Structure 1
Amino acid sequence: MKTVIQNVKFKEVMVNVLIENGVIKGMNQDEYLEADHVIDGKGQHLFPGFVDLHVHFREPGGEAKETISTGSMAAARGGFTTVCAMPNTRPVPDHEDNLKYVNDLIEKNANVRVLPYASITKRQLGHDLVDFQSLKQLDAVAFTDDGVGVQSAGKMYEAMQEAAKLNMPVVAHCEDNTLIYNGVMHDGDKSNEMNLKAIPSVSESVHIARDVLLAEATGCHYHVCHVSTKESVRVIRDAKKAGIKISAEVTPHHLLLSENDIPEDDARYKMNPPLRSEADRQALIEGLIEGTIDCIATDHAPHTNDEKSQGFLKSPFGIVGLETAFPLLYTHFVENNLITLQQLIDWLTIKPAKLFNLSYGTLQIGSPADLVLIDFNQEENIDVNSFYSKGHNTPFDGWKVKGVPTLTMVNGKVVWEKEEAHV
Structure 2
Amino acid sequence: MKLVIKNGIIVNPARKQHEKGDIVIENGKILSIGGTADTEGAEVYDANGLFVAPGLIDMHVHLREPGQEAKEDIHTGTQAAGAGGITRVATMANTKPVIDNAAVFRDVLRRVDECGVVKVSVIGALSKNLEGKQLSEMGDMAAEGAAAFSDDGHYVESANFMRRAMEYADMLHKMVIDHAEDATMCSGGFMNEGKVSYAMGVTGRPAAGEDIAVARDLLLSEMTGCHIHIAHVSSAKAVELIREAKAKHVNCTTEVTSQHLYFTDEWLKNYESSFKMAPPIRTEDDRKALIEGLKDGTIDAIITDHAPHCNEEKDVPFNCAPNGIAGLETSLASALTVLCHNNGFTIDRLIELMSVNPARLLGVEGGVLEEGAAADIVVIDPDKEWTVHGNELYTKSLFTPYEGLTLKGRAVLTVVDGEIVMKEGKVLK
Please say if residues 413 and 423 of structure 2, whose CA atoms lie closer than 8 Å, have aligned partners that are also in contact: yes
1:105 maps to amino acid: R
Q: Aligned partners of 1:56 and 1:22: how far apart in 2?
A: 27
Alignment partner of 1:234 out of 231, 240, 247: 240
Alignment partner of 2:333 out of 282, 304, 327: 327
Q: Aligned partners of 2:70 and 2:228: how far apart in 1?
A: 32
TM-score, with structure 1 as normaliser: 0.96
Deviation at 1:342, TM superposition (A): 1.5
Alignment partner of 2:312 out of 302, 306, 309: 306
**3-state DSSP class of the match of 2:374?**
coil
Please say if residues 181 and 197 of structure 1, whose CA atoms lie closer than 8 Å, have aligned partners that are also in contact: no
Q: Aligned partners of 1:418 and 1:331: how far apart in 2?
A: 19
Q: Aligned partners of 1:373 and 1:40: how far apart in 2?
A: 10
Provide the residue aligned with 1:245 in structure 2.
Answer: 251
Alignment partner of 1:401 out of 400, 403, 407: 407
Alignment of 1:280-319 (within 5 A): 280-319=286-325
**CA deviations over 1:368-408 (Å, ceiling 9, x no partner):** 11001122343221121210000122111111122211110
Alignment partner of 2:37 out of 31, 34, 37: 31
Deviation at 1:336, TM superposition (A): 2.2
Deviation at 1:43, TM superposition (A): 4.2
Q: Aligned partners of 1:308 and 1:201: how far apart in 2?
A: 24
Deviation at 1:33, TM superposition (A): 4.3
Q: Aligned partners of 1:8 and 1:293: how far apart in 2?
A: 29
1:69 maps to amino acid: H
Answering whether residue 7 of structure 2 is matched by residue 7 of structure 1, we say yes
Alignment partner of 1:391 out of 367, 388, 397: 397
Q: CA RMSD in A?
A: 1.7
Q: Aligned partners of 1:421 and 1:263: how far apart in 2?
A: 35
Alignment partner of 1:263 out of 269, 282, 291: 269
Q: Which runs of 5+ in 1 are unaligned?
A: none
Alignment of 1:15-414 (within 5 A): 15-180=21-186, 182-414=188-420
Q: Aligned partners of 1:248 and 1:420: how far apart in 2?
A: 32
Q: Aligned partners of 1:142 and 1:214: how far apart in 2?
A: 17
Please say if residues 102 and 141 of structure 2, whose CA atoms lie closer than 8 Å, have aligned partners that are also in contact: yes
Deviation at 1:419, TM superposition (A): 5.0
Deviates more, 1:359-368 or 1:63-72: 359-368
**CA deviations over 1:173-206 (Å, ceiling 9, x no partner):** 1111111251111110111111111111111111
TM-score, with structure 2 as normaliser: 0.95
Q: 1:165 and 1:419, CA in 2 relative to 1: closer, same or farther beyond 3 A? A: closer
Q: Aligned partners of 2:44 and 2:93: how far apart in 1?
A: 39
Q: Which runs of 5+ in 2 are unaligned?
A: 12-17
1:327 maps to amino acid: A
Q: What percentage of aligned pairs have identical amino acids?
A: 39
Deviates more, 1:330-339 or 1:236-245: 330-339
Deviates more, 1:152-161 or 1:394-403: 394-403
Please say if residues 167 and 224 of structure 2, whose CA atoms lie closer than 8 Å, have aligned partners that are also in contact: yes
Aligned residues: 422
**3-state DSSP class of the match of 1:19?**
strand
Deviates more, 1:299-308 or 1:10-19: 10-19
Q: Aligned partners of 1:320 and 1:369: how far apart in 2?
A: 27
Please say if residues 79 and 427 of structure 2, whose CA atoms lie closer than 8 Å, have aligned partners that are also in contact: no
